[in-house]
Amino acid sequence: MEATSSPPPANLNEPLNDDKKKKTKTMTEKKKKKKEALGWMEWLRGWFYVVYEMLFQRIMASHLQNPMPLPPINDLTCIVTGSTSGIGREIARQLAESGAHVVMAVRNTKAAHELIQKWQSEWSGMGLPLNIEVMELDLLSLDSVVRFAEGWNSRLGPLHVLINNAGIFSIGEPQKFSKDGYEEHMQVNHLGPALLSILLLPSLIRGSPSRIVNVNSVMHYVGFVDTEDMNVVSGRRKFTSLVGYASSKLAQVMFTSVLFKRLPAESGINVLCVSPGIVHTNVARDLPKAVQAAYHLIPYFIFSPQEGSRSTLFAATDSQVPEYCELLKADDWPACPFISQDCRPASPSEEAHNIETSHKVWEKTLELIGLPPDAVERLIEGEDVNCRYGANQE
């Protein structure tokens, strides 16, 4: 008996095509639907992590010495931003006492010089004079950032460690903008350090192996970045100082993740973020009186600036850090290397692992700070790059 097979009806494929079109359209619409905030589960997990770190950070870091002993670093040159108070002050002092050449990159140069005199006096008779100098840097002015980088690069000397420590958290303050037109938290905590890091790449290459250490915050776990509204002015989100701070810290992690991937291994430059923990710093001055009182009643849970400086000092000097960075790069990890307050590797927030948003943050940041999209690649190749800011602005 002869087997026969009849072709399918001519119109059988039409419903299938229609179904595919509908599915494709639905998927496209979902992709086009823009995420406008953290999901409530992400938000809850973020706050859980913040509260957990505050309550248990001292226990988690109980294995660390205070102050943290540092290896001999006489051959290192380190730039530390925001080093006249808080964590930055401790970082600069301890690096200098361990033999490093420290550059205090600060807005208040008079306060920095007074600190150096005090430190030299206290150090007298304990070894060679501390090798510290001061250079002016105001992160609220991108022109100032460019001038600083040009001034340092013109020395044609090596830079081994750049510590982007300076930051602001203007708790309870109304929204403010820099003269460059950017929300102040976003500029000081992210845009300024991003511009500084890229412009100093020539000096970091000369100091290779070198490191960029971004002092971040556990608060990035509750942050969200809208690349179409970096200034938080569209009305889609209500601005609060917490929104401004957390968003800027998340933007820094995302930008660092892309920079980490773009820096070739041959450059010898590692870049990472660190969390100092919940630290008792000058932020308390901006808190409401009642909150200040509570803040001072829980000293056991909150780190001193010296304790808060340990993770940054570890990231800047420990010999295991480059190995950790190389491991993540080899595994094509979606987020940048991150060191927690207990000096152990940690994972940034769930949102920080969003590769698509991280690349959008990278592109938007370069646009806002006036650099071309290929600035990193060109600087690594030894080419000059023009910035929209500074003396050579168009």
Catalytic residue among 182, 221, 245, 389: 245
Which residue, among 35, 34, 38, 33, has the nearest Cα to 243 in the 3D structure? 38
Handedness of CA 162, 244, 90, 300 (dihedral sign): negative
The answer to whether 389 is a known catalytic residue is no
Q: What b/e readout covers 364-386, taking b as 16+ CB neighbours within 10 angstroms?
A: bbbebbbbeeebbeebbeeeebe
Residue with tokens 């989100």: 237
Give me the amino acid identity at 299.
Answer: P
Which neighbouring-strand residues pair with 1? none
Report DSSP letters for 63-116, one per residue.
TS-SSPP----TT-EEEEES-SSHHHHHHHHHHHHTT-EEEEEES-HHHHHHHH
Q: Are strands 269-274 and 101-106 parallel, antiparallel or unpaired?
A: unpaired
User: What is the total residue count of the chain?
Assistant: 394
* Whole-number Å distance between alpha carbons of 226 and 351: 12
Residues classed as catalytic: 245
